[in-house]
Amino acid sequence: MSESKELLVSPDTEGPVVRLVHLILEDAYRKRATEIFIEPYEKILRVRYRLDGVLTEVMHPPKKLQAAMAARLKVIGKLDIAERRLPQDGLFSLSIESTTVDFQISMIPTRWGETILIRLLHRSRPWLPGLLELGLSEKQLADLLEAHQRRQGLVVACGPTFAGKTTTLYSLLQHQYEEDPQRSFATIEVAIHAYLEGVEQSVIHPDIGLNASSMLRAHLNRRPDVLLVHELRDFEVSTLAMQAAMQGMQVLTTLHTHDAASTYTRLLNMGLESYMVADSLTCVIAQRVGRRICASCKEPADESDDSVLSVGIVPDELNTFTPMKGRGCVDCLGSGYKGRVGFFEVLPVTSQIRELILRRASTKDIRQAAREEGVASMRRSALDAMKRGETTLQEVVLHTQRNRDASLPCS
């Protein structure tokens, strides 16, 4: 798994290619990229980074270097250099600025050659935001911590891919360890996105029969205090996760649902018994993640009152804040954004919500009950971030336009 920096830059017959590959990896790390895409087309080779969730084109290496770059990455990723017809996955490490960075590489054959995806994984703690830095409101944080302090039950983070679910659960897991390092912590993951202090992290390998359900069964016998399960993908994994939660473990996991209320009906539609869902769940976190305005070039944005009102701001709020934007500077690479901010909906399982689950109530009824209990919508969370000058009106529209229920207030 490990590959030294010296090997990457050592002179050989492919010296220019070695240096180019090293340059791309190091540049992506320094620019805070989370993924690198090396994409071949008929006449060009394109390199893009995912910066703050957005794919950004950074260079067009010479097309003639395509095969050599792929071969170099296969060598350092311990892949089969002769195989070009089948997908391959690998791992390697690189020391950059006295920090060890792990790279997960995936190669997929396409019409014009192999597309290469490289994901940056971090061993160091500083990249992971603390629980207080995620963007949760005081009430949302209090509801989440109350569920955490119960020491057992199921906490689900839901949302689409790239919504920041894993980051939220990692932050919660690290917070729990720092608060009480005497407890035992474990994870079952498809891929380790970051190394967490004091946490035993495991990766599933379905090709050898090591899947999530078999790992969960092992942990049911071993009984760690806190267990993170990557995702509730099917009936079997969901059932085992709920059994673990009802037997005294705290289980953190993710699910792909639209909002918090939809999580309950999704679990019931999987075939799970309503009593299991009601008894095991303690809290659901729905979220999206938007780009944060660059602090170095933040300035007032010229937004009309109509455009601000159209996203859900009420007239009485218009004079209480000024919409902001980023002008674009060296610090943010001209984008006007640097970093991310979360938009959340935190729905604790109260006695009223539990009763609705047992009755198999509709998503609409659960959502209405949540609003009556003062649960703020994701749209409201995004609007509050805009009012604080953390994000722009455009990011609010982009990430929450599907979350605005016309029948409900966004408070």
The band of 107, judged by pLDDT with boundaries at 50, 70 and 90, is very high
> Three-state SS for 395?
helix
CA distance 152 to 348: 14
Q: Dihedral (C-alpha) 108, 111, 113, 114: value to the nearest 10 degrees?
A: -10
Nearest to 172 by CA among 411, 384, 342, 377: 342
CATH number of 131-403: 3.40.50.300
Q: How confident is the model at residue 125 (pLDDT cuts 50, 70, 90)?
A: low
Ranking 11-20, 200-209, 382-391, 397-406 by mean pLDDT, the lowest is 397-406
Q: What is the pLDDT of residue 405?
A: 45
Other CB atoms within 10 Å distance of the CB of residue 174: 21
Mean pLDDT of the chain: 88
**pLDDT the model gives residue 127:** 66
Residues 222-246: pLDDT tens digits? Answer: 899 999 999 998 999 999 999 999 9
- Distance separating the N- and C-terminal Cα atoms of the chain: 49
Of 367, 316, 326, 376, nearest in space to 142 by CA: 376
Provide the pLDDT for residue 126.
57
pLDDT score, position 1: 38
Percent of the chain at pLDDT exceeding 70 = 92
Rounded CA-CA distance 408/411 in Å is: 9
Domain(s) of CATH 3.40.50.300: residues in the chain: 131-403
> How confident is residue 74, by pLDDT bands cut at 50, 70 and 90?
very high
pLDDT number for residue 191:
81
On the question of pLDDT at 407 being above 90, the answer is no
Which has the closest alpha carbon to 38: 19, 66, 77? 66
Q: What is the CATH number of domain 5-122?
A: 3.30.450.90
Query: Phi then psi for 409, rounded to 5 degrees?
Result: -70, 155
Residue 216 has pLDDT above 50, yes or no: yes
What's the per-residue H, E or C state across 274-296?
HHHHHHHEEEEEEEEEEEEECCC
Convert the pLDDT of each residue in 256-315 to its tens digit.
988 899 999 899 999 999 999 999 999 999 999 999 999 999 999 999 999 999 998 999
Query: Does the pLDDT at position 3 exceed 50?
Result: no
CATH 3.30.450.90 domain residues, the chain: 5-122
115 — pLDDT class (breaks 50, 70, 90): very high
Is the pLDDT assigned to residue 403 strictly greater than 90? no
- What is the C-alpha separation between 403 and 124, in angstroms, rounded? 34
Closest by CA to 133, choosing from 171, 160, 105, is: 171
Asked if pLDDT for residue 85 goes beyond 80, the answer is: yes
Per-residue pLDDT at 100 exceeds 90: no
Query: Residue 91 pLDDT more than 90?
Result: no
- CB-CB contact of 312 with 395 (8 Å): no
Q: What local confidence, expressed as pLDDT, does residue 124 receive?
A: 59
Instruction: Render pLDDT for 176-185 as a digit per residue (tens, 0 to 9).
Output: 999 999 999 9
**Helices 165-179/138-149 angle, 10° precision:** 60
Q: Which helix (H) or strand (E) holds 100?
A: strand 99-110
Q: Which residues contact residue 27 at a Cβ distance below 8 angstroms, ignoring those fewer than 6 apart?
A: 58
Q: Do β-strands 281-293 and 337-348 pair in parallel, antiparallel, or remain unpaired?
A: antiparallel
